[in-house]
């Protein structure tokens, strides 16, 4: 290989060195990228393990607080998915709103079932939204607001479009 390189004219030697340097730079860049990704993955995993360790260390206290909270809830006021939709329709009607309720999802744990729905309110005024929110907040902790977004209606800038993600807790038997 050395004889091949030394037998070339100066222009070819420079080009061969340039190609070799370019290949080395590309390889080093890829190595650096893979190293950075490995480092980021390691840091993320370390942080997740630390968070899990905190949860595990506090498991007894968390279970005790969950049991105390469960005892303080009135099972008659907890809502299943159907009652949640009915309650939200009632609250929306009382506020003078026409609610589009969709995307029901249920997550179950050993003590609770959490029901989540998406509520969309189109072309409404701020006063009605505030009334709906106040009535909704009176039902806490049985009904909770997870996410809220508000936008001006493009067709009528005097009206608003709102989207709520609302959940309820049901005691599992």
Residue 85 falls inside a structural domain: yes
Do 107 and 141 share a structural domain?
yes
Do 29 and 86 share a structural domain?
no
Percent of the chain with pLDDT over 70: 99
Query: How far are the Cα atoms of 69, 91, 92 from residue 65, in angstroms, in the given order?
Result: 6, 31, 33
Q: Is the pLDDT of residue 172 over 90?
A: no
- Using only C-alpha atoms, the chain has a radius of gyration, in whole angstroms, of 30
- How much is the average pLDDT of 132-144? 91
- How much is the average pLDDT of 84-95? 92
Do 114 and 32 share a structural domain?
no
User: How high is the pLDDT of residue 170?
Assistant: 86
Residue 102 falls inside a structural domain: yes
Residue 106 falls inside a structural domain: yes
Q: Which domain holds residue 133?
A: 74-171
Task: Spell out where the chain has E strands.
Answer: 99-108, 112-124, 143-152, 160-171
Q: Is the pLDDT of residue 68 over 70?
A: yes
Do 88 and 43 share a structural domain?
no
């Amino acid at each position: 290989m050395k004889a091949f390189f030394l037998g070339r004219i100066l222009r070819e030697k420079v080009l061969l060195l340039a190609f070799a340097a370019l290949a080395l730079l590309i390889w080093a860049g890829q190595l650096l990228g893979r190293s950075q990704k490995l480092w980021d993955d390691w840091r993320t995993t370390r942080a997740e393990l630390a968070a899990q360790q905190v949860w595990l260390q506090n498991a007894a206290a968390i279970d005790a607080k969950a049991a105390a909270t469960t005892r303080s809830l009135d099972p008659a006021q907890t809502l299943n998915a159907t009652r949640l939709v009915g309650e939200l329709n009632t609250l929306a009607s009382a506020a003078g709103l026409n609610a589009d309720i969709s995307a029901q999802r249920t997550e179950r744990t050993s003590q609770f079932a959490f029901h989540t729905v998406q509520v969309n309110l189109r072309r409404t005024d701020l006063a009605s939204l505030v009334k709906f929110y106040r009535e909704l907040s009176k039902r806490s902790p049985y009904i909770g607001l997870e996410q809220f977004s508000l936008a001006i209606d493009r067709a009528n800038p005097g009206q608003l479009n709102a989207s709520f993600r609302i959940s309820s807790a049901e005691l599992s038997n």
